[in-house]
Chains A and B, each alone.
Chain A
Amino acid sequence: MAFASEFFASEFPIMHQEKVGAIIERLKIGQSSPQPAGRKSNTTVFAFTYDNGVVLAGDRRMTDGYYEIASDNTIKVKQLSKFSAIACAGSCNIIRYLEDNMEAVCAIFKERYQRELSPDGQANHLRNLMEGWWYFYVFYWYWSIGVPVLATYDLEMGQPRIFSFAEDGFYFEPSFLAGTGCGFETVRGLIVDRWREDLDADLAITLAVRAMIHSGVASHGVSDARIVPPKVALIDKEGFRWVPERLIIKKRDDLLKEIRGIRCLLC
């Protein structure tokens, strides 16, 4: 092995080779057609930019198979570093693997070099992690793997940045909005319709909560925001911070008075 490879392998050990091998063995991929048992988060997660930051929101539902609700208390937005966070849809064990590995790499980098791993570096490392799971995408469905959205604030560039990933690890940087999960498609148009470049943080939170309300009534795989408030976080030049739950509940209640169609849907 060349010294350069040895150097990076010793500085940033990655465990995915072993783990992927173990899963191939366990599921006997290519030998039969077993059903992958495991919890999946059907999910709505999305991130969009506002005037000087990025808002990241996620619902709370984790499902077992197609119809069984395992939990309505899951937190799908995970802080990685002071200026970045990730939110994923898909199979929970792979999501956990992606989150843990990303968090560890960001922490190791910060500790060794006294500076944050750059947003481009984080996106590229995430791509590397996801490439190990591409065969799940071929053999099963996209929800069998983890599909993330990475939201960051780039201090050097002085602007928020979002990275959207495909199932095979390919990523690109959309201009203002990225999301994933079964509920995202139902609210994509709503966010695009209401988004403006000069949204302030308060309006951005309102839009995120509004989208979560719509997504919750459109898909059984997404927690109903009327019952369980979604998780919303902001990342700007001050860093990552959660939006307090009481503020989300207040905004949700105000919006529910306004959105009359939802009440009619249930009649």
Chain B
Amino acid sequence: MPVVLRLEPSPEAKKEAINSLLSDRTGLIIRGKNCVVVAIKSPVIVNVLKHPGEGLEHSSQSTKLFIWGLGGSVAARRGFGIEFGRFENELRNRFSHRDLNFVMLNDFISGYLRKDLYSRKSDEPLALEFILAEITLSSMTFSIINFDGDSRFFKESSFTVIGCTGDKEKKELTESLNSLNLGNLSAKEISELVQPLLEKFKGDFFLISFSLKSRKAPKQKNKPRARRQ
């Protein structure tokens, strides 16, 4: 039998390939007025991979967890899907589906990406990146996890960008977003402004917005006092 020797690409070569793959696709998280908008433009979107919160039969708090993936090949996406299935199964075996939470998910995904980036014996780079969200009635938490497994929480800033690794594209996009006063805009206004900015990126456009309802009770008018005679 002939022996076929395959040379594994070096980590540097892999990173370079990943960078070039991700330079023409992007994901955005934008904070507006009482709202957060998630916009993704990518040929492969792991489209709302799971809504684990919906499975909580006994939950009185309506917590929903969202995962969106962008970039990556079909094989990378399927590989992650299989591993995520194992993760859910393992969690149910050890604890309960109720114990799935944002931090655990964040740790798992970043661990998976970190491990797979350098250990996979494949020429095909794993250019998967993720946006995570935890939405409750009163709070919204977002984070992004890049292909390297580094996660970053989205807190006070008005926007954050994932993907779009090319210097030029990233600079242009950031400058354009900076020039808009996003903090005072509604979700609809943000989506109208963002769509043209993402046109040059490849793939399908995906946008979802979350809004926090004001908890202030409407002011009640005082009842007119009965006149005294």
Contact = CB atoms under 8 A, between A and B. Distances in A.
Interface of A: 2-5, 7-8, 11-12, 109, 112-115, 117-118, 120-122, 124-125, 128, 154, 156-158
B94 interface: yes
B101 A115 contact: yes
A12 to B, nearest CB: 7
A156 B61 CA distance: 7
A2 B60 CA distance: 34
A5 B85 CA distance: 11
Given A112-B103, A157-B58, A4 B96 contact: no
A157 B96 CA distance: 15
Given A113-B101, A156-B59, A3 B112 contact: yes
B111 A156 contact: no
B91 interface: yes
A4 B94 contact: no
Contact of B96 (A8, A115, A118): A118
Contacts of B111: 3, 7
A121 B60 contact: no
A120 B104 contact: no
Q: Give chain B's interface secondary structure class.
A: helix
Contact of A121 (B86, B99, B115): B99
A118 B98 contact: yes
A124 B103 contact: no
A4 B99 contact: no
Given A7-B108, A120-B96, A121-B94, 11 more contacts: A2-B86, A3-B83, A4-B83, A4-B89, A4-B90, A7-B111, A113-B101, A113-B103, A113-B104, A118-B98, A156-B98
11 contacts: A2-B86, A4-B87, A4-B90, A7-B107, A109-B95, A112-B104, A112-B107, A113-B104, A121-B95, A128-B94, A158-B60
Interface of B: 58-61, 83-84, 86-87, 89-96, 98-99, 101, 103-104, 107-108, 111-112, 115-116
B59 A125 contact: no
B86 A4 contact: yes
A117 B96 CA distance: 9
Q: Give chain A's interface secondary structure class.
A: helix
A244 B199 CA distance: 69
Nearest to A10: B111
Contacts of A128: 93-94
Nearest to A14: B94
Contact of B99 (A5, A118, A157): A118
A147 B87 CA distance: 29
A109 B59 CA distance: 19
A8 B90 contact: yes
A2 B115 CA distance: 11
B99 to A, nearest CB: 4
A7 B87 contact: yes
Contact of A124 (B89, B96, B104): B96
A124 B87 CA distance: 16
A117 B94 contact: no
A231 B107 CA distance: 41
A154 B96 CA distance: 14
**B87, B94, B111 pick with most chain A CB within 10 angstroms:** B94
A114 B86 contact: no
A120 B103 contact: no
Contacts of A115: 101
B91 A2 contact: no
Given A121-B98, A124-B94, A156 B58 contact: yes
